[in-house]
Amino acid sequence: MAKEKKRVLITGGKQSFLIRSLMKKLEEAKIDAFFIASDVNSLSSAFDEADILTYYLDKDERPGHDVLVYLNDRMSETNKRIILIGEADDLEYVQKTISSDHVAEVYHRPLDIDKYIERLNISFSAEGRGVGGMKSILIIDDDPTYMGVIRGWLKQYFKVAMVTSGTLGLTWLARNHADLILLDYEMPIVSGPQVLEMLRSEANFRDIPVFFLTGKSDKESVMKVVALKPQNYLLKTISQEDLLAELGKFFGMIL
């Protein structure tokens, strides 16, 4: 049976006074949170119960490398994300092992609890299948710089994954869920239309909505894109504001 409430797993070296205070604030905000000590056995016993994670680092706290590797691997498998709270040096240490793809937000101590709670509510509000209620978007584009820009625009609101070819996209989808694919129309070797055809030929992928990304705005090019019947197409010159508006409209969200 699906959980009625979204749950936050809070971990750290010990359940300190600050962590207990944070959990009390979450309780007051009607957010279900529970503490698990930061060792692999404890985390593995409770990881599946969480929708989103928070690592609260006490001053000079350096989690074991095994813990960080475990968290990074499990988040890769499940699309779950983590919020990191701590001081600059300790956060830098953690982020050497935990991929930025899995980090929803980073907060320096002392924590602004209101901002933290607001961030959790944003994660929960979409009610999607991604971690913490966040919808999952896969970007398929041969230009990693462009994808990085788009991911930077979207990561506050969505779980964003990036791959540089259609083949890698199909491999990623075999292990992960996507609520939407942003697909480059003009790619070498295997073009966007060919990738769309492959997606539509696979029963597990054919119902995933696809937005084409195109750099061409002339009528002939646009008509070719529209003829393939994607859910939408977006020009690559789109602004952050307009992109968020389009995605908000598609998902029924206010961004």
Residue 47 vs residues 116, 119, 181: alpha-carbon distances, Å: 21, 20, 27
CA dihedral 54, 58, 64, 70 (to 10 degrees): 0
Q: Do domains 7-125 and 135-251 have the same CATH topology?
A: yes
CB 211 within 8 A of CB 233: yes
Quick one: pLDDT band at residue 120, thresholds 50, 70, 90?
A: confident
What pLDDT does residue 101 have?
A: 75
What pLDDT does residue 129 have?
A: 39
Domain boundaries, the chain: 7-125, 135-251
CATH code given to domain 7-125 = 3.40.50.2300
Angle at 232 between CA 154 and CA 202, to 5 degrees: 95
Task: Please state the CATH superfamily assignment of the domain spanning residues 135-251 in this structure.
Answer: Response regulator (3.40.50.2300)
What pLDDT does residue 191 have?
A: 85
- What would the pLDDT profile of 8-27 be if each residue is shown by its tens digit? 999 999 999 999 999 999 99
Residue 135 has pLDDT above 50, yes or no: yes
pTM confidence score? 0.57
- What would the pLDDT profile of 67-79 be if each residue is shown by its tens digit? 999 999 998 877 7
What residues does 173 pair with on adjacent strands? Answer: none
- What would the pLDDT profile of 154-187 be if each residue is shown by its tens digit? 987 888 899 999 999 999 998 888 999 999 988 8
3-class DSSP assignment, residue 254: coil
CB 231 within 8 A of CB 144: no
How many Å separate Cα 166 from the centre of its chain? Answer: 20
| Beta strand 136-140 pairing with 159-163 | parallel
